[in-house]
Amino acid sequence: MSSTPRAVAATPLPRPSGRATRFRRRQGWVVGVALLLGVLIFWRYSQIPAFGPFEIRGIVAGTMTLALLAMAQSVIVISGGIDLSVGAMMVLANCIAARLMLEQDLGPVVLIALAVVAVAMVLSGLIGTIAVVSGVPDIVVTLAASFVLSGLALIVLDSPGGGTNPRFQQLLVGGFDEPLPATLWLAALLLLIWLPFKRSRLGIATYAVGSDRAAAFLSGVRVGRTRVIAYVLAGFFSGMAGIVTTAFTGSGEPRASIGATATLTSVAAVVLGGVALLGGSGTLLGPVLAAFCLSLIPALMLGLGWDPNYAEVARGIIIIVVVMIGGLVQIPRRSR
């Protein structure tokens, strides 16, 4: 009878935990993912005779879109929802940007990029507002929104095309052997956008809402407003993902399946990155590192001389196994 883990009576005062324990509990997962990434990069390094700036740039710039989408998804998941429209939003931003940026100078192109990100923020905020006002679960609202956004993308650009300014490309994702721009951009977004947000009142409110919506409401957090702001921030990241895609590929691609695949991969990166789907925990660094792990797998398989199609199998198994291990690690913690 007393074996129920959630006995309410006689809870002892929590003992203050040491700095090391706290670090392990809060950042342990991220450190784990970082180690995994380190191993994968070293593996790749040992596969290629001339591992240099060219390779690194390929990895960083090629993963940037997924990393940004993982950030967008994380913000929503931390706030207690899930966003199945991030991929479609990325495709829409990509199409608008590629259409408008074609044969423009650097100045206008930068302005267009800012405008596109702003549009993505407004649209995502609108989706969030609908989810909050209607009371329809996020997963349904964003599912429907993903149809609408992919349709809009097809209206903007009915077939692959468009273009951008080469100097803008260089600025955002670097030339063929410059890994620095893409890396710096990712780091800057994490440090200058996410970190201040996380530490602000709004950030704390976001975690509170994701952790327990009712308790947050009773503590005076404006739940609806916080959720909408989380959507706006996610819109910023997915809009950026669209701009980066434009810069990386130099064109726009309106196929809806690209968005759907990207959305699902972003969910995988979020979970691998240690953000609990229940909401209220995790950071953005973990999912970014996980995104890199996920996109290194096909390259590694190719390097091993395997059929790269096994990469899909490996990716799926890794996601499942890591989450299983995570579940096993968390069970003793929960029942304590």
Partner 1 sequence: MSAATADPAVTRWRQALVDRPAIALGGVLVVLYVVTGLVEPNLFSANGVRSTLLLACPLAILAASQTLCMLTGGIDLSTVMTANFAAYVAANQSGQGPVVALGLALAVGLAVGTVNGIGVGVFKVNPLIMTLGMASVLLGVVTVGLVGDGFLSGSTRLLPVLRTVASGTLFGPIPNNLVLWALVAAALIFGLARTGLGRAIYAVGDNPVACRLAGVRIWQVLLAVYVMSALLASLAGLLFSGISGSVGPDQTNAYLLPSVAAAVIGGTSILGGVGGYTGTILGALILTVLNRLLLALDTTEAFRQILYGLIVLALAWVYVRITGQRGT
Q: Which residues of the chain form contacts with partner 1 (CB under 8 A)?
A: 4, 82, 130, 134-141, 143-155, 158, 213-214, 256-257, 260, 264, 267-268, 271, 277, 307, 309-317, 319-320, 323-324, 327-328, 331
Give the amino acid at 148. V
The terminus-to-terminus CA distance of the chain in angstroms comes to 17
**Cβ 274 to partner 1 shortest distance, Å:** 13
Q: Which is nearer to partner 1, 106 or 139 (CB)?
A: 139
**Cβ 121 to partner 1 shortest distance, Å:** 20
**Cβ 154 to partner 1 shortest distance, Å:** 3
Q: What is the largest CA-CA distance in the chain?
A: 73
Give the amino acid at 191. L
Here the tokens at position 228 are 């909408």
| Nearest residue to 71 (alpha-carbon basis) of 290, 220, 333 | 290
Q: Which is nearer to partner 1, 5 or 14 (CB)?
A: 5
In the DSSP assignment, the letter for residue 220 is T
Q: Which is nearer to partner 1, 143 or 171 (CB)?
A: 143
Here the tokens at position 245 are 């895609």
Q: What are phi and psi of 161, to 5 degrees?
A: 170, -155
| Nearest residue to 237 (alpha-carbon basis) of 123, 71, 80 | 71
**Cβ 24 to partner 1 shortest distance, Å:** 22
Cα–Cα dist 66/268, whole Å: 11
**Cβ 224 to partner 1 shortest distance, Å:** 12
Cα–Cα dist 34/272, whole Å: 11
Q: Which is nearer to partner 1, 191 or 325 (CB)?
A: 325
Q: Which is nearer to partner 1, 99 or 315 (CB)?
A: 315
